[in-house]
Structure 1
Amino acid sequence: MAKDDLVSFEGKVSNLSGGGVFFITLDNGVDISAKLCGKMKRFKIKVVTGDRVTVGLSPYDPTHGLILHRHKF
């Protein structure tokens, strides 16, 4: 599935887990798990607890996502 097919949501990182898995609370109150996208890994963009992020969710599995963007304050 291409990145163009993902549905974008905004949320806040609530917890970190091993293996690069982040737990995110979306603005609508749903909790999901997500990983960093390839470009964020490539350019070593750090995401910590409390950061606002944009997450791409697949319409087929809305419980797992891909962190696409970290918002600046």
Structure 2
Amino acid sequence: MRGFHILNRKPSGNRKRKFSRPPARKRPNRKQQKKQLVEEPEVTENVEETPEPSQSKNDKIEVEGVVVEPLPNAMFKVELENKHQILAHISGRMRKHFIKIEPGDKVTVELSPYDLSRGRITYRKP
């Protein structure tokens, strides 16, 4: 056994070890744990805190536009109703079902609130 040396061996079985283990932790029993949970309620003052509205993945801006130009790697230049042009790619579901998009098609685009110059084409209007 490397790193574990027995320095003094007596026939009685008492051993002195070079490296000793730390004492074992005592864990509270179940009753003590339940008491701690019951006895320590969280104290709050009458200050009303309104949680800050967080933006999740569901917070998308949906706009309609017309495909202007196809680009490589399933990307398209789309002109929105407000005459802005953005770069958009096809959503995975449209790619999965082989929905073809050509210039002049009306599409629905999802924009992220963080970057309004890029989007995802989610629907092609017939």
**What is the CA-CA distance between 1:20 and the residue it aligns to?**
1.1
How far apart are the structure 2 equivalents of 1:36 and 1:53?
10
| Alignment of 1:16 onto 2:70 | yes
Superposition CA RMSD, Å: 0.9
| Alignment of 1:64 onto 2:123 | no
**What is the CA-CA distance between 1:19 and the residue it aligns to?**
1.1
Please say which structure displays the higher CA radius of gyration.
2
Quote the sequence identity (%). 37
How far apart are the structure 2 equivalents of 1:44 and 1:62?
26
Equivalent position of 1:7 in the other structure = 61
Amino acid of the residue matched to residue 10 of structure 1? E
How far apart are the structure 1 equivalents of 2:96 and 2:74?
14
Deviations 1:14-51 (A, max 9, x none): 00111111000001000000000010011010000000
How far apart are the structure 2 equivalents of 1:36 and 1:17?
11
* Displacement over 3 Å in runs of 4+: none
Structure showing greater relative contact order (alpha-carbon pairs closer than 8 Å, 6 or more residues apart): 1
How far apart are the structure 2 equivalents of 1:45 and 1:20?
11
Equivalent position of 2:9 in the other structure = none
Instruction: List runs of 5+ in structure 1 lacking aligned partners.
Output: none
Instruction: List runs of 5+ in structure 2 lacking aligned partners.
Output: 1-55
Greater fraction of residues in strand: 1
